[in-house]
Amino acid sequence: MTVAVRVRRHLRRLLLLLASGCLLSLLLSAYFLFTNSSPALQLGQPAEPACSQPLPLSPYRPLPNPYPPVPPHTYAPTEPVVLVLVESQYSQLGQDIVATLESARFRFHVEIAPGKGDLPPLTDAGRGRYALIVYENLLKYAHVDTWNRQLLHQYCIEYRVGVIGFYRSNENSPPLLKLRGLPLVLRTNQELRDCRVAPSSPLLHLTKPGTDQGALPGEDWTSFHTNHSSYQAVLQARPREGAPRAGSGDNPAPGSSGLGLQATVVQDMGLYDGVRRVLFGQGLGYWLHRLILVDAIAYLTDRKLTLGLDRHILVDIDDIFVGKEGTRMNTKDVKARVYLSRHYREHNIELSKLLHRLGQPLPSWLREELQKVRRQIKRPPPLCCASAPTVWLCP
């Protein structure tokens, strides 16, 4: 028997052994996979319902307030800083977001949102760098590649960090847009009116429930539609009468007939993938959106970044002392004001109330009355003749 024949026999045996080992490993893997799989989620079954069904007219259900309850402080700590991912440093919406954070005196860090979805470092020595992430463009968040999206969601779940996103439609936006990775359908370029604040939303803090009657500014509003229980409307509005609805040409979009309230701001309670979100269907040009943004920051950061309900009024009166000639007060004006206040407080209650009105100049008839009073009580007048400077009454 030659050497070549022996080598071929050994190779055949080796291949048979390898094939047998592979087949045995496949059988063992299948056995453990089917015996240890969870009965709640079988293979081939979708994790959540998709949005292929017709959208209901009222997909949002009132949930217990607050919901979900704030868990115990078992998650990793974070710094009270907001990460703002903008399109460019000159974008209008990005500047509005920064201005809102500055007015509320919240700490923030601005980054240019990269095209591939790469994120800046999110942790430092086991501590989260940011308590909230804000996307100026919601599509930048939706189109993040799979790897960075998993990293972002892992960070949000482990450190209990929320996400805020804005979507502004334009003339090139499709009438209906399915948001990648989320059970949401967006209707773009709508004209809406009568904005209503949902009273059942647990997000509200500064904002109070009610309705802002009238047409909303702009014709580029976006509404959110879903049939998943994780989403709840915060702001809702009605389509304007006679306004074209989302669709191609003059034909309405599927399911758009008989549309009622449209959700322009929605909050994700975190029941879909564990990440809490608040999504805006327009920018911050509408005044209610600015209030909702501040409330959303407070809600998603578990009140780490929030504004109190106490309000203080600052009255700036320095202009009456340093203003231009003829309007600012001088020594004679102050003395005249003190004299008149004391005299008419003692003799005439109604005139005393008049004197305490803010910013009201001394009328001519009151000047004449003042001169008569001076002559009667025979006191040296603190004012000159009728050409005396105007007296501004202050409290």
Question: Distance between CA 82 and CA 164 in Å, rounded?
Answer: 10
Question: Distance between CA 279 and CA 138 in Å, rounded?
Answer: 8
112 and 140 Cβ atoms separated by less than 8 Å: no
Q: 237 with 200, same domain?
A: yes
Q: How does pLDDT run across 318-357, given as a tens digit for each residue?
A: 666 666 666 677 777 777 777 777 776 676 545 545 555 5
Q: 228 with 111, same domain?
A: yes
Q: 345 with 225, same domain?
A: no
**Residue type at 105?**
R
Backbone angles phi, psi at 121, to 5 degrees: -55, 130
Residue 103: C-alpha distances to residues 96, 166, 281 (Å): 10, 20, 23
- H or E, element range at 334: helix 331-347
Percentage of the chain beyond pLDDT 70 is 67
Does any domain span residue 75? no
Q: 97 with 161, same domain?
A: yes
Question: Distance between CA 215 and CA 238 in Å, rounded?
Answer: 9
Instruction: Indicate the pTM of the whole model.
Output: 0.63
| Lowest-confidence region among 146-160, 219-233, 263-277, 354-368 | 354-368
Does any domain span residue 18? no
CATH code assigned at 197: 3.40.50.880
Residue with tokens 């996400």: 163
Tokens of 211: 């309705």
- Given a cut of 80, whether residue 55 has pLDDT beyond it is no
Domain that holds residue 325: 319-393
Q: What is the DSSP string of 71-107?
A: PPS-SPPB-SEEEEEES-TT-HHHHHHHHHHHHTT-E
Does any domain span residue 119? yes
pLDDT bracket for residue 35 (50, 70, 90): low
pLDDT bracket for residue 311 (50, 70, 90): confident
- Given a cut of 50, whether residue 36 has pLDDT beyond it is no
Percentage of the chain beyond pLDDT 90 is 43
Among residues 240, 267, 300, which one ends one of the domains? 300
Q: How many domains does the chain have?
A: 2
Mean pLDDT of the residues in the chain: 77
Q: 216 with 356, same domain?
A: no
Question: For 35, left (φ over 0), alpha (ψ -120 to 50), or beta?
Answer: alpha
Nearest to residue 265, comparing CAs of 245, 288, 246? 288
Question: Distance between CA 58 and CA 227 in Å, rounded?
Answer: 9
C-alpha 261: how far from chain center? 20
- Given a cut of 90, whether residue 113 has pLDDT beyond it is no
Q: How does pLDDT run across 129-144, given as a tens digit for each residue?
A: 999 999 999 999 998 8
Residue with tokens 């647990």: 202
At 352 the pLDDT is 45
Does any domain span residue 105? yes
Does any domain span residue 70? no
Residue 254: C-alpha distances to residues 259, 266, 296 (Å): 11, 22, 32
Q: Which residue has the higher pLDDT, 46 or 287?
A: 287
Q: 152 with 287, same domain?
A: yes
- Helix, coil or strand: residue 20: helix
Q: 212 with 152, same domain?
A: yes
